[in-house]
Amino acid sequence: MLGALLPGKTVAAAQKTYTIGTDVTFAPFEFANQDNKYVGIDLDLIKAIAKEEGFKVEIKPLGFNAAVQALEARQIDGVIAGMSITPERKQKFLMSDPYYKSGVVMAVAKKSSIKSLKDLRGKRVAIKTGTDSADYANSIKQKYGFSTVTFDDSNNMYQDVTTGNSAACFEDQPVMQYGINNGMALKIVGKPAREGAYGFATSKNNQALMNKFNIGLKKLRANGQYDKIIERYLGNGSAKSQKAAAGNSQTTDRSFIGLLKANWSTLMGGLRETMVLTIVAIFFATLVGILVGLLGVIPNKLCQGTATTFIYIFRGLPLMVLALFIYTGVPSLIGSKVPAFIAGIVTLTLNEGAYTAAFVKGGIQAVDPGQMEAARSLGLPFGKAMRKVILPQGIKIMIPSFINQFIITLKDTSILSIIGLLELTQTGKIIIARNMEGFKIWTMVALIYLIIITLLTWLSNWVQKKVKA
Amino acid sequence: MSQYRVEMKNVHKSFGDNDVVKGVNLNVANNEVVVMIGASGAGKSTVLRMINGLETVTSGEILIDGEDIAHKGTDINKVREKIGMVFQHFNLFPNMSVMGNITLAPTELGIASKDEAVKQAKEMLEVVGLTDKADAMPAQLSGGQQQRVAIARALAMHPDIMLFDEPTSALDPEMVGDVLGVMRRLAKQGMTMVIVTHEMGFAKEVADRVVFFDNGTILEQGKPKDIFEHPKEERTKNFLNKVLNA
């Protein structure tokens, strides 16, 4: 209690750091600004409370679903992501006092003739996975006779409506309002339903953090900081102030070049992460692939069985499933966190390693069996014969496959955006969440991938020529 | 010390349900040249490949200088060091020069230093008449030259026994003579040799003993003169008629 009253004192004691998961694309509650800094109501709020209560926070923008799963797996300490307080969530987690009142609204394309839920009969509606809005939509879809399609982030959901693929979407009211303020060609129809409130979530055993949050929230409400934070992002209620608030975090030049300039350093940051992931993953996948591939050609049933099983499992599993399993499944099994970067590298190593092992094994087996017989007949042991005679010939056969695998690895890093790694694809998603410029930003991201892959291909061809000579 | 270099005792070999060798007893004495003849599929090559353990026996026993090669305490690699083998398709290492092919095993197995190995390789190339090809790659050589390099490669290990598995079958006719010439010289120098071949003239001239294989067994064996001129078995006669009058 004393610590709460005198925050300066608690600073002196070692401050505890909590890892807080959040969504990536839930403006105005959380989104990355043009400097790629995460801002938004949720983040300002948790930071202000942390300051007030004398603890530190490390923000992890994981995406809503991944954040909730990470909390379940106790990879993180809390989630603040515009999370509606529901009975189900209260059963699973500790939920804080409400910090923002919201409701579910329906939005349709600007020119749409849909005026109410009744007009949705036979139509398709876009929802975002794991959200309260999605829950609401699913609960009434029988009654109003519409079908649903799910997306992982808000922007893709909005786009599906503006392009006309879906007739409407359901979204939390402040979020929808913010998106429209920022030029999303949608309009809100009807009244908010399921009026509820957002809360901060921790796992059941983290009462200490929950208490700090609730106490801090009360203080912010009392001293006016809370209102200031809301006003910063949503204005004081007038449409004009809302526009102004939106402009605070936006760049003005919306041309391709303008956007490229404004987001250049952010995109390059994403590219750097992609390259680091690619290089580290290629290194380990090649190592594992060669070892497992070699294991597969040793004349021993146990060795061959191990290699075959490894290849069968990790080549068979979709990369995304493997990533989620390692990042959110394994921690609950081993009882300790797996950092996203490590999870990403392990995922790529196992998957790309399995493909590499398959062609390493195949490459060795493609060498004329007479070569092994000749080497063995001279008295060379298996290992020496393999190293001196078979491998040098096998590697030549494998080189095109290696190059192919390197390019695939580079592309596959994009799948790791699912576990919140800030690589190029995730960076693109985040920029779009802020400025809603899907077409232009995805074009930039695609071009960057193509340029890098072209360079990698040139490099590979050059190496291949050197080796053949 | 056994009186025989190679002893095969009631050796059987099956590939799955297919019995390829059915109870072969064969001894090879020191300095002896044994030529195995018979139709394709009669089991000659399999018997030859069992002598240095490239094929394992299904049942029976093979002794090299009195040592059971299937015994757990036997180091098959050591046994192979004293048994040279020459293959139908040469099996030179395409990624190494002629010199590299010949010096690989002696240097890798610590039998000779690099310099010694190179010196000996040159002597072996002289034996097979290819001194000028030391730096050539296998792909630059004719079939006959490749096979002579393969012989030099086997000889570089100073083997006590040489196995030849149809060494001239993959060669153009004009190349056959060179390879047989090298083998003839080896025989004269007293090398113990086991040869599978369809070159009947060569067999008649060089062999101390000819062994006729039929359907996985040794049907008849003896001095070349006896086998070629007075075969006892009907099937031997038929086979010889076919190959000699082809």
Q: What is the CATH number of the domain that holds B184?
A: 3.40.50.300
Q: Are B192 and B178 in contact (CB under 8 A)?
A: no
Q: Residue B213 falls within a domain, yes or no?
A: yes
Q: Residue B41 falls within a domain, yes or no?
A: yes
Show the tokens assigned to A328.
């959110």
Helix, strand, coil in percent for chain A, rounding step 5: 65, 15, 20
Q: What is the structure's pLDDT at A4?
A: 44
B110 to chain A, any CB pair closer than 8 A? The answer is no
pTM greater than 0.80 (yes/no) = no
Which residues of B are less than 8 Å from A377 in CB distance?
Answer: 52, 54, 80, 83-85, 154
Question: Whose CA is closest to A336, among A345, A349, A347, A326?
Answer: A326
H or E element: which one contains A139? helix A132-144
Which residues of A are less than 8 Å from B154 in CB distance?
Answer: 377-378
Instruction: Say how many C-beta atoms besides its own lie within 10 A of residue A7's C-beta.
Output: 16
A371 to chain B, any CB pair closer than 8 A? The answer is yes
pLDDT digits (tens, 9 = 90+) for B210-230: 999 999 999 999 999 999 999
B77 to chain A, any CB pair closer than 8 A? The answer is yes
Which residues have C-beta within 8 Å of that of residue A393, sequence separation ≥ 6? Answer: A367, A371, B93, B94, B95
Q: Residue B51 falls within a domain, yes or no?
A: yes
Q: What is the structure's pLDDT at A163?
A: 84
Q: Residue B135 falls within a domain, yes or no?
A: no
According to DSSP H, which parts of chain B are helical? 44-51, 76-81, 98-108, 114-127, 143-155, 173-188, 200-206, 224-229, 234-244
- Inter-chain residue contact A378 with B80, CB threshold 8 Å: yes
Q: What is the structure's pLDDT at A176?
A: 87
State the smallest CA–CA distance between residue A312 and chain B in angstroms: 27
Q: CA–CA separation, A126 vs A380, rounded Å?
A: 66
Which residues of B are less than 8 Å from A370 in CB distance?
Answer: 87, 89, 91
Global ipTM: 0.93
Its domain, for residue B12, covers 4-90+161-245
CA-to-CA dists, residue A42 to A49, A201, A305, B212, angstroms: 11, 12, 52, 92
Which residues have C-beta within 8 Å of that of residue A260, sequence separation ≥ 6? Answer: A267, A444
Side-chain half-sphere exposure of B208, counting CA atoms within 13 A = 15
Q: What is the structure's pLDDT at A239?
A: 53
Q: Quote the number of domains for chain B.
A: 1
B157 to chain A, any CB pair closer than 8 A? The answer is yes
Q: Residue B109 falls within a domain, yes or no?
A: no
Which residues of A are less than 8 Å from B77 in CB distance?
Answer: 379-381
- Inter-chain residue contact B91 with A370, CB threshold 8 Å: yes
A379 to chain B, any CB pair closer than 8 A? The answer is yes
CA-to-CA dists, residue B41 to A173, B9, B216, B221, angstroms: 84, 21, 8, 18
Which residues have C-beta within 8 Å of that of residue A231, sequence separation ≥ 6? Answer: A241, A245
Q: Are B166 and B90 in contact (CB under 8 A)?
A: no
Q: Residue B125 falls within a domain, yes or no?
A: no
Counted across chains A and B, CB pairs separated by less than 8 A come out at 58
Q: Residue B136 falls within a domain, yes or no?
A: no
Q: What is the structure's pLDDT at A7?
A: 43
Cα dihedral sign, A271-A277-A280-A284: negative
- Inter-chain residue contact B93 with A368, CB threshold 8 Å: no
Pairing of strands A147-151, A168-172: unpaired
State the smallest CA–CA distance between residue B155 and chain A in angstroms: 10
Q: For A129-223, where are the E strands, in sequence order?
A: 147-151, 168-172, 186-203
Q: Which of A379, A384, A392 sits opposite B95 (nearest CB)?
A: A392
pLDDT in single tens digits along all 469 residues of chain A? 344 444 444 444 568 899 999 987 787 888 877 676 788 899 999 999 999 999 999 988 888 888 888 898 888 999 999 898 988 899 999 999 999 988 899 999 988 889 888 899 999 999 988 788 888 998 898 999 999 888 887 888 888 898 888 999 999 888 888 888 777 889 999 888 888 889 999 999 999 999 999 999 999 999 999 989 888 887 655 555 555 555 554 546 778 888 898 889 889 999 999 999 999 999 999 999 999 999 999 989 999 999 999 999 999 999 999 998 998 888 878 877 788 899 999 999 999 999 999 999 999 999 999 999 999 999 999 999 999 999 999 998 898 899 899 999 999 999 998 887 889 998 888 788 767 778 899 999 999 999 999 998 898 888 888 876 5
B189 to chain A, any CB pair closer than 8 A? The answer is no
CA-to-CA dists, residue A31 to A154, A183, B170, angstroms: 11, 16, 73
3-state secondary structure of B120: helix
- Inter-chain residue contact B87 with A374, CB threshold 8 Å: yes
- Inter-chain residue contact A388 with B78, CB threshold 8 Å: no
- Inter-chain residue contact A379 with B81, CB threshold 8 Å: yes
From first CA to last CA, the distance across chain A in angstroms is 76
Which residues of B are less than 8 Å from A375 in CB distance?
Answer: 93, 105
Q: What is the structure's pLDDT at A27?
A: 79
Q: Which of A368, A371, A380 sits opposite B105 (nearest CB)?
A: A380
A388 to chain B, any CB pair closer than 8 A? The answer is yes
State the smallest CA–CA distance between residue A388 and chain B in angstroms: 9
**Residue of A367, A373, A377 to mutate, testing the B interface (most B Cβ within 10 Å of its Cβ):** A377
Q: Residue B131 falls within a domain, yes or no?
A: no
